[in-house]
Amino acid sequence: MSYDELQVEIERLREELESANLEKERLHDEREEMVNQYEEEFDKRKQELLDENQVALSDLKASQDNQIQTLSNQLDQMYRAFQGDACGWSEKTDRRTNKTQYVNAETGETSKEKPQILEFAEKVMSLDQKDGDKNALHKATNKAREAEVRNALIP
């Protein structure tokens, strides 16, 4: 090969190399653009999932807070009922119809059926009353015995 032919071949190879480099850069840019697009779509979907889960978590937390509050209120009412407190419930009789209705002074609720908490509180109060009566009877019995003993000792 002559010098001129070598120069032509070198020039052709340079052009081919330059073309290959341009194609390589184009493919690299295209790949980079696709990667960026996938990353953006991934980040967008990730944020959507996070937002959805945050909403679901907030709803669940609100529901749990509500259940906890409800249970707390119920436990408070049970505690009060064990103390003989009817938790605001009382029995009212309508003078016109002579029908019994149950009214809660604390909540404003009304019921035609006797609330269980009122029933329970009445039973606790009844037991407390019976215990009080039993104690009073026991004290009276002791005083009577003491009086009998004194009367027997003092002729």
Same domain flag for 92 and 62: no
**Are the CB atoms for 101 and 112 separated by under 8 Å?**
yes
Residue 131 has pLDDT above 80, yes or no: no
Same domain flag for 75 and 135: no
Instruction: Give per-residue burial for 74-83: e unless 16+ CB within 10 Å, then b.
Output: eeebeebbee
Over range 144-148, report the average pLDDT: 75
CA–CA distances in Å: residue 83 to residues 94, 110, 133, 150: 29, 23, 18, 40
**Are the CB atoms for 41 and 81 separated by under 8 Å?**
no
Say what the pLDDT of residue 11 is.
95
Q: Which residue has the tokens 């070198």?
A: 10
Domain of 18 in residue numbering reads as 1-82
Same domain flag for 33 and 99: no
Q: What is the CA radius of gyration of the chain?
A: 46
pTM above 0.75, yes or no: no
What residues have CB less than 8 Å from 7, skipping those under 6 apart? none
Same domain flag for 103 and 43: no
pLDDT, tens digit (0-9, with 9 covering 90-100), for 101-124 = 999 998 899 998 998 888 888 888
Q: Kindly report the average pLDDT of the chain as a whole number.
A: 88
Same domain flag for 77 and 99: no
Same domain flag for 144 and 73: no
